[in-house]
C-alpha cells in the first residue's frame, strides 16, 4: 500500500528525498521530529539508504563562532561538489523546524543552494525528545545522499553529550580568552572532543590563539598519556578569514577514515542504533505518562517541595507515580 | 500506627538506626535497596535526620588502590573519633548486601568496629537502580549519625558520573604509569574530580608519582583557565604506607567547607533531591514495563536485530512498546 492510512505517501516522499528534493526532505524531518504516527513507516522506508554520510558534530559556547565555522565548512565542502546537511540542535530554544534558520544570518549564504539542507531542531526543553528525533533526522539527510551532515549544538547543557553519541567525529570550538587560555570549552566537554578548534586566530589575536592551542596540546598530551584511545587534535582557525578550515576538515576526515578502517565506526554505529532503540522506547513510555495532564501539572510543584525539603524525593516520586497510574494507590 | 501493615516496624527500625545500631542500619539499607513497598515509609521516617554527614565519592580503575585508600581514610577518621559509613558501589557485580564485604580483605580491619558501617551495593546491571537506591542508603547512614560517608565506586562504567551527582566532594585515584603519566583515570572521569590522588607514591615509585602529579597539575592548570569554577587539587599519597592521606582528607574538607560557606552545597543537595525524584519516578515507570515478561524476554533479541541492521531502532522500539502495552497495536 503506497499511501498510509493517514494520507501521507511515505514511499513517495522517501523516493523524492533520495532525489534530494528539498521539500520532501523537510517534510520527512517534520514527520520524524513530531513523532508522527507514520514514523515507523518512515524509518522502514529510509532503512535501505543509510550509512553513506559522514556525520560530524560541532559544538562550543555561544560566541565562539560555531555558526560562522559551520558556514565556512559548508562553503568548502560545496566547492568540493559535496552535498551537505546541517542540523542545528538547540535544546534551549522553544522554536523548531523550517527549512531555513532565519536567525542564523551567516547560513543564508547557503539558503538558495539546492545541495545544502539546513534544519533547526529544538527540544522544547525535552533533551530526550532530541535524542530520539535527531538520529532519525540524520537518516533522512543520509537518504537524501548528503555526503556530510554537520550537527551543530550549543555547548550549554547536556545536549553535547547526547550529540557526541550520535555522530562519527566530534569537533569542539573555543576561542582564546583574556589571557592565553582557551574559553568556551566548559568542564565536561573537553573529553568528548576528537578535534579542538581554537577560533578567532585572526587580527591581533593570532599569537594568543597560537599560545592557547600550544598550551592545550601540552595539557592534552599529558592527560592522554594514560588514555591510549584518546588523542584529540588541537588547531587554530579563523572562521572570519576562512583560514585553517581546510586543515580542520582534513583532520576530521583523517579521524573518520581511521575509525572506518579499524572497524570502530561500524561498531560505534551499531551501538548507537541500540542506544537509539532504548531512547525511543523510554521516551515513549515516559511521554505516555508524564505527558498525562495530572503528572505534568504537578511535576514542578513536586520538584519545588523536594527543593525546600517539604517532601522527600521518594514521596514526591510516588505521588507522581500514583498520578501516572503506577504503583500502589 | 507504629507497625506498617507489612509487619515491618519502620519507626522502631529508624529509632534504632539513629542510635547507630548496626543491624537496624543494615536492615533499612536492605529495605531501600530492594525497593521494598515500605520504602516511602522509610524515606519519610528518615527525613528529619538528614544533612549531617559529609558525603565523599571515591573512584578509580581496578588496581589503583581504592579500597586500600578508603580503608586508610576510615582509620584516620576513626582515630579522630568520627563515625564512618562506606558504600561500595559496584555496578558490574551481581552480588549485593551484607554488613561486611567478604571479598574486600582490607576492610576487615574495620569489620568489628561498631562505629564503621560498610555496605556493598550492586546494581545487577541496572545503573538506574543504583541511582535510586544509593541516595536512599546515604540517608540511612546519615540518619545513623555518620560524620562521613564514603561512596567507593569502580571507575569502569557510567557509575562514576551517577555517583559524582550524589556526593558533596568527588575524589579520583590514579597511579603513576609506565612512564611519568598517570594511569587509572579514564577519559570522562577527570572532569568530575574535585581532588585527584596519585597513589602508590612509595618505594621506588615516589619520583614517578611526583612527576605524574606535577604534570597533571600543569595540565589541569591550563585546562581550568577557561573554567573558573573548576580547579581540582592534585596530590600524591601512599595508601600502603599510609602517607599523604591526612593531606588528602584536609583537601576534601577544605573543598567541603568552601561549598558549604558559599551556599553551593545547599543548592547542590536540593537539585540532587529533584534529580533523585525524577530518577525514582522514571525507574519505576520503566521497571513496571521493562520488567514485564514480554519486554525483558525480547529486549536482547531486538538489540541484536538493530546491531545487525535487520531492524531499524524505531521498529524495534515500537515492537517493545507494543509488548509493553503502549503505542498503537
Secondary-structure breakdown of chain B: helix, strand, coil percentages, each rounded to the nearest 5: 50, 15, 35
Distance, CA of A136 to CA of B25 (rounded, Å):
48
A174-191 confidence digits (pLDDT tens): 888 766 667 766 666 777
Please name the residues between 190 and 209 in chain B that touch chain A, using a CB distance below 8 Å.
Answer: 190-191
A17 and A118, same domain (yes or no): yes
A196 and A260, same domain (yes or no): yes
A206-255 confidence digits (pLDDT tens): 999 999 899 888 888 887 776 767 788 999 999 989 899 999 999 999 99
Residue A188, in any domain of the structure: yes
A156 and A248, same domain (yes or no): yes
Minimum-distance CB partner of B188 among A191, A276, A324: A191
Q: Which residues pair with B178 in a beta bridge?
A: none
Q: Are A259 and A168 in contact (CB under 8 A)?
A: yes
Residue B149, in any domain of the structure: yes
Given this model, what pLDDT does residue A193 score? 87
> What does pTM read for this prediction?
0.74
Residue B116, domain CATH:
3.40.50.300
Give the chain A residue whose CA is nearest to the CA of B161: A188
pLDDT along chain B (329 residues), means of 10: 65 94 91 78 85 91 84 91 90 43 56 86 60 86 95 73 87 80 69 89 92 87 74 92 93 94 89 84 74 74 89 87 68
Given this model, what pLDDT does residue B128 score? 55
Given this model, what pLDDT does residue B40 score? 79
Give the chain A residue whose CA is nearest to the CA of B324: A285
Q: Which residues of B touch A265 (CB under 8 A)?
A: none
A67-115 confidence digits (pLDDT tens): 889 988 999 999 999 999 999 887 554 444 433 343 445 566 777 888 9
Interface test with A, best of B28, B161, B221, B273 (most A CBs within 10 A): B273
Given this model, what pLDDT does residue A77 score? 93
A59 and A108, same domain (yes or no): yes
Please name the residues between 95 and 154 in chain A that touch chain B, using a CB distance below 8 Å.
Answer: 135-136
Last residue of a domain, one of A222, A238, A264: A264
A295 and A199, same domain (yes or no): no
Residues A277, B313: C-beta atoms closer than 8 Å: yes
Domain region containing A286: 278-323
Given this model, what pLDDT does residue A238 score? 95
Average of per-residue pLDDT values in chain A:
82
Give the chain A residue whose CA is nearest to the CA of B220: A219
Minimum-distance CB partner of A317 among B184, B277, B316: B277
Residue B253, in any domain of the structure: yes
Give residue B189's region: left, alpha or beta (phi > 0; psi -120 to 50).
alpha
Minimum-distance CB partner of B321 among A186, A281, A320: A281
User: Which residues have CB under 8 Å from A52's CB, separation 6+?
Assistant: A142, A145, A146, A147
Question: Is the interface score ipTM higher than 0.90?
Answer: no
Q: Please choose, from the candidates A88, A17, A25, A100, the residue with its C-alpha nearest in 3D space to the C-alpha of residue A57.
A: A88
Q: Which residues of B touch A291 (CB under 8 A)?
A: none
- Give how many domains chain A has, as a whole number: 2
Residues B226, A174: C-beta atoms closer than 8 Å: yes
Amino acid at each position: 500500500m503506497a499511501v498510509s492510512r493517514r494520507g501521507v505517501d511515505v514511499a513517495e516522499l522517501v523516493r523524492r528525498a533520495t532525489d534530494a528534493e528539498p521539500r520532501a526532505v523537510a517534510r520527512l524531518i517534520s514527520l520524524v521530529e513530531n513523532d508522527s504516527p507514520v514514523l515507523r513507516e518512515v524509518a522502514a522506508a529510509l532503512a535501505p539508504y543509510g550509512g553513506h554520510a559522514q556525520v560530524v558534530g560541532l559544538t562550543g559556547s555561544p560566541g565562539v563562532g560555531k555558526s560562522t565555522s559551520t558556514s565556512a565548512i559548508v562553503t568548502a565542502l560545496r566547492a568540493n561538489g559535496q552535498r551537505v546537511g546541517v542540523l542545528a540542535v538547540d535544546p534551549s530554544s522553544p522554536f523548531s523546524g523550517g527549512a531555513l534558520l532565519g536567525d542564523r544570518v551567516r547560513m543564508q549564504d547557503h539558503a538558495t543552494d539546492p545541495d545544502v539542507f539546513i534544519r533547526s531542531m529544538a527540544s522544547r526543553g525535552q533533551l530526550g525528545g532530541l535524542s530520539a528525533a535527531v538520529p532519525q533526522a540524520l537518516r533522512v539527510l543520509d537518504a537524501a545522499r548528503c555526503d556530510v551532515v554537520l550537527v551543530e549544538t550549543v555547548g550549554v547543557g547536556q545536549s553535547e553529550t547526547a550529540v557526541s553519541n550520535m555522530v562519527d567525529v566530534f569537533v569542539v570550538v573555543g576561542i582564546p580568552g583574556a589571557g592565553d587560555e582557551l574559553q568556551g570549552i566548559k568542564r565536561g566537554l573537553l573529553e568528548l572532543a576528537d578535534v579542538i578548534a581554537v577560533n578567532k586566530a585572526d587580527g591581533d589575536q593570532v599569537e594568543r590563539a597560537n599560545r592557547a592551542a600550544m598550551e592545550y596540546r601540552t595539557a592534552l598530551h599529558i592527560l592522554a598519556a594514560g588514555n591510549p584511545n584518546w588523542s584529540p587534535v588541537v588547531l587554530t582557525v579563523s572562521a572570519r578569514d576562512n583560514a585553517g578550515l581546510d586543515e580542520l576538515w582534513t583532520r576530521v576526515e583523517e579521524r573518520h577514515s581511521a575509525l572506518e578502517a579499524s572497524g570502530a565506526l561500524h561498531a560505534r554505529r551499531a551501538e548507537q542504533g541500540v542506544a537509539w532503540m532504548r531512547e525511543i522506547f523510554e521516551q515513549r513510555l515516559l511521554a505516555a505518562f508524564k505527558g498525562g495532564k495530572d503528572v505534568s501539572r504537578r511535576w514542578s510543584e513536586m520538584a519545588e517541595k523536594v527543593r525546600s525539603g517539604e517532601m522527600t524525593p521518594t514521596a514526591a516520586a510516588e505521588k507522581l507515580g500514583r498520578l501516572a497510574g503506577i504503583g500502589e494507590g
